[in-house]
Amino acid sequence: MQETHRPYPHAALIALYAICLLIGGSAIVFACLAASREPQPPPPPPAIRQVLDDQAAAWNRGDLDGFMAGYWNSPELSFYSGKDKKRGWQETFDRYRARYQGEGKEMGSLTFSELDIQMLGPDTALVRGRWKVDMSKEAFEGLFTLVVKRFPTGWRIVHDHTSSA
């Protein structure tokens, strides 16, 4: 029997697959390019970092009022630390005063480090970092998470969750 060679029966099908691969591949490439061109969120305003710098400077001068200027002066301010929950600027101030300016107490030297500021919106940011207070005989340190909001008077801490090691 004589073998006959017929043209590949699926040539049209292969051509169709090739066209689909080119179109699909091109769509993926264009989608990736478009995604890489999306505007990146703006960096956090330096004023947020300045709130913490100003707080540390006030603390290190022994100026608790200056330190508290970084907090929202409102009964809605929240401060969580350990098992304590404080509500309002005055309660938070009183806690700091009793703990660091009471009889026989000292404020020491405060530093903030490992700051990570994430914008949650144009007027709200999440700030995470590490704090340390060096005193004459001992040191305390821990982590904190802040919610900071922009007000007409500037950026203020509206929620503080601080832990100590």
Helices (H), the chain: 11-36, 46-60, 64-68, 89-100
Summary mean pLDDT of the chain: 87
Write the pLDDT tens digit of every residue in 36-56: 566 666 678 999 999 999 999
- Check residue 82 and report its DSSP letter: T
Check whether 110 has a pLDDT greater than 90. Answer: yes
Cα–Cα distance, 154 to 106 (Å, whole number): 29
pTM to 2 decimal places:
0.75
State which amino acid sits at residue 82. G
Q: Which of 68, 66, 86 is nearest to 78 (CA)?
A: 86
Check whether 157 has a pLDDT greater than 90. Answer: yes
Check whether 141 has a pLDDT greater than 70. Answer: yes
